[in-house]
Amino acid sequence: MMGKIFLVKTRWLCLLCLVNLTTAQDFPNPKKWGQNAYVSNPNNLLAVSEVAHLNRLLMNLEQETKAQMAVVVVKKLNGKSAKMLATELLNRWGVGQRGVNNGILLLVAIENREWAFEIGYGLEPVLTDYVTAQLGASILVPHFKRTAYTRGISEAVKEIHALLLHPNRAIELYHKAERGATEYWWKNAWLLFVMLLFLLGLYLLMSHPYKRIPFAVAVGLLTLSGSDVLVIILEWLGAEPSLGIRIGVGIYAGVGFALLADCIRKGKQEAIPYKFHPALVIVLTEEGRYCKIKKLIFPLTLLGYAWWKQRYIRRQQSQWSEKTRKSQAKKPFAGIRRLSASEKTNKLNAGEIMEEALETCRHDVWVDRNGKVVEKVVRNLHLVGYMTCEKCKHLTMSGGFEGESPRRYLYRCQFCGHSYEQKISSGASGPSSGFLSQTFEPNDSHATTDHPSTGDTSSDSGEWGGGTSGGAGASGTW
């Protein structure tokens, strides 16, 4: 007899799976399966053991608190709001005691990814909209995102049980919901701020691609924006990083990559005179060592610079001709070092010291273990307004107006004093642009140029208590 009853129930449930559930009449009342049944599972989305587990929790809830709670789990809602349908179901079934109206209904639509709480009039002071919203956001949603539907519903039932036994917990949950709403607001504000930073980074990158500081700042801002996008993806996958962690990771990554971009840019500038020089490895290694990232605050930045350095050196050396390789191999660059600014002063002549003071050139002095000068490498810093003196051959000559009547435009070497006058055409305030553009081309032989590169229930039917609801309770999605 029991086997026939089970067979009939199974066939009836299978037919329900083919029916479109659009109104409250279409949903089976779980009390048809017995007084100890509380879960409506028309699409068999929950296993029999899971339904039995939830029924035991809900029966215990009714026995200890006198409140009745129904759970409805469906596959899909055909165009109807989960909250509206939950209100219809609670009132149609009469969940809760008549006159007390202490009924609760939880509706979960899997494919729609919606959940909704419906609360009877008598429980509204405890299970407020804020509380049910917090139950959904902090308990249901995290579990539902991992498809742990039974676990999420079970934890929500246990929390409701505790709230009904200890109403003061509702106050704590209310404050928690307030904090959650505040954090949500701040997250949105931070997201808007990151979007603005992203636009600023794009502007700096496009408008100042060759300037050191704007370029590094642009790289940092774009990295911060990218790291925030990764955090958003992790949240979508189910992780729950706090706003503080999100901001901290973004700032850390942004600053780290900004330093990396700045160091790489400085490394390229330092390597200009050494593109075909055996000291290129030493120069780039020193630049990484003396860069502001030498402290291991940003280890990934250090690793990034080391990776770039090796690639850059290999690329430059691959361009050396065989003649350059043979000539450079003869130079004694084993065990040499580059002198610091204070050490190299007595190794420079007066003209070179003047160039260093005017910042028109930089002289790298390399010495061996015995302090003997091996080589001097000169880098033209391309300071606008200076050119090479014809007499002393130092990059120390500049021009300017002298005298009042008549005014003369005079070029004078600040090292040897050699000067000559530039004739100015009538009405002009200075030398022609063509002459200046020609004159300012560096002609130092050492200078180089940079090239851009249904569960345990009885067979007898049961019924609810006849409670009603006015639409209280929260709903949401995941």
CA dist 381 and 334 (Å) reads 28
Q: How many CB atoms neighbour CB 449 within 10 A? A: 9
- Tell me which amino acid residue 328 is: Q
Q: What is the DSSP letter of 29?
A: P
pLDDT of residue 434: 41
The closest alpha carbon to 68, from 41, 29, 42, belongs to 29
- pTM above threshold 0.85: no
- H-helix or E-strand spanning residue 476: strand 475-477
pLDDT of residue 153: 92
Q: What is the DSSP letter of 97?
A: B
- Tell me whether residue 52 is exposed, middle or buried, using C-beta atoms within 10 angstroms of its C-beta: 0 to 12, 13 to 18, 19 or more: middle
CA dist 403 and 407 (Å) reads 5
Q: How many CB atoms neighbour CB 213 within 10 A? A: 12
CA dist 35 and 460 (Å) reads 7
pLDDT of residue 461: 62
CA 265 to chain centre: 24
The closest alpha carbon to 324, from 270, 272, 275, 378, belongs to 275
Helix, strand, coil % over all residues of the chain, rounded to 5? 50, 15, 35
Can you say whether the dihedral through the CA atoms of 18, 23, 26, 31 is positive or negative? positive
CATH classification of 2-166, choosing from 3.40.50.2300, 3.20.20.30, 3.10.310.50, 3.30.70.1140?
3.10.310.50
CA 33 to chain centre: 52
pLDDT of residue 448: 37
Helix axis angle, 299-317 relative to 243-270, nearest 10°? 30
pLDDT of residue 367: 84
- Tell me which amino acid residue 233 is: I
The closest alpha carbon to 75, from 42, 97, 102, belongs to 42
Query: pLDDT tens digits for the chain (478 residues)?
Result: 434 333 334 344 444 444 455 566 778 888 888 888 889 888 888 888 999 999 999 999 998 888 899 999 988 887 778 888 888 888 888 888 888 888 999 999 988 889 999 988 888 888 888 888 888 888 888 888 888 889 999 999 998 898 888 877 777 766 766 777 777 788 888 888 989 988 888 888 888 766 767 888 888 888 888 888 888 888 777 777 788 888 888 888 888 888 888 888 878 877 777 776 767 777 777 766 656 555 556 777 778 888 888 888 788 777 777 776 676 666 656 667 788 888 888 888 888 889 888 888 888 888 877 788 877 888 887 777 888 888 898 888 888 877 776 777 888 898 898 888 876 554 444 444 443 333 334 444 333 334 333 454 444 566 766 666 666 666 777 7
pLDDT of residue 106: 92
Alpha carbon dihedral 352, 358, 360, 365, in 10-degree steps, equals: 40
The residues spanned by each domain of the chain are: 2-166, 181-327, 332-439
Tokens of 278: 């055996």
